[in-house]
Chains A and B, each alone.
Chain A
Amino acid sequence: MKGAVKFQYVTSESNPGDLRTKPLAVPRYERLLQLIGLTPFGPDDGEPEYDE
């Protein structure tokens, strides 16, 4: 299992882990939601695609 996990530092501004530990101000909160892919489902998103 050696080398199975790699560690890397990121700044607090780019760390979605912050969403799990403290209440955040709206601008930073919205940026982190973008990073984790939690975004509004709009009409441009179309139908979900599936592999054959």
Chain B
Amino acid sequence: MDAKPAKSPLDPQTDLANTHCEDKPANRKEYLSMVGSLMYAALGSRPDIVFSVTALSRYNVQPLEMHATSAKRVLRYLKTTAEFRIHYRRLTSDPQSPHNSPSMDIIGYTDSDWAGNLMTRKSVGGCVFGLGHTNANEELVMSGLFHWQAKSQSVVALSTLEAEYIACSHATQESLWLSHMMKEAAEGMAVKIVDGPVPIG
């Protein structure tokens, strides 16, 4: 495939929700095939395209040409970044290494996009979890992801603060079962969740 390279899966300027524009309908069978293939990659080894695939799958019923073009951009991005791998680093006792630490924790990051879905006004909450530790400068160092999610929230949040709390609550639930699972593998792991910005005012 001789495709033009893409450095990110979705163009921030593209408005996928603009379904009232006079765009031609896309070939639905082809579109569903593309989204299905992308979803397989997103669930297995490509956490970077989870949001794009979630956003594109909202238009599975009546995809337009612009949605098909965006799906093709994700394919071009995957071709451009085919050499990308999730790197899992082991802890070392080398004081110069950023991975020098006596123990590892589960670290999770969460964020939400308030009213990201302009049709339903629902927010998207996302979280990622990996093994990591806090270094000597109190900075979080993550080794590599092992769990990730992007999900439309089931209720309509009325503010960014509310959307962030819902996402945080969901991430906490995820962290607890991950913690239980990891405790079976290694005793004494702590869990640390890091939340995104919550603008107040």
Residues of A whose CB lies within 8 Å of any CB of B are 1, 4-12, 15-26, 29-30, 33, 35-42, 45, 49
Contact = CB atoms under 8 A, between A and B. Distances in A.
A41 to B, nearest CB: 4
Contact of B109 (A16, A33, A49): A16
Given A9-B194, A10-B194, A38-B85, A23 B8 contact: yes
Contacts, number: 148
Interface in B108-166: 109-113, 116, 124-128, 130, 140, 142-145, 148-150
10 contacts: A5-B172, A8-B192, A17-B109, A17-B128, A20-B111, A22-B116, A23-B12, A35-B142, A38-B84, A38-B145
Interface of B: 7-12, 14, 47-48, 50-52, 55, 81, 83-90, 109-113, 116, 124-128, 130, 140, 142-145, 148-150, 167-168, 172, 175-176, 179, 190-198
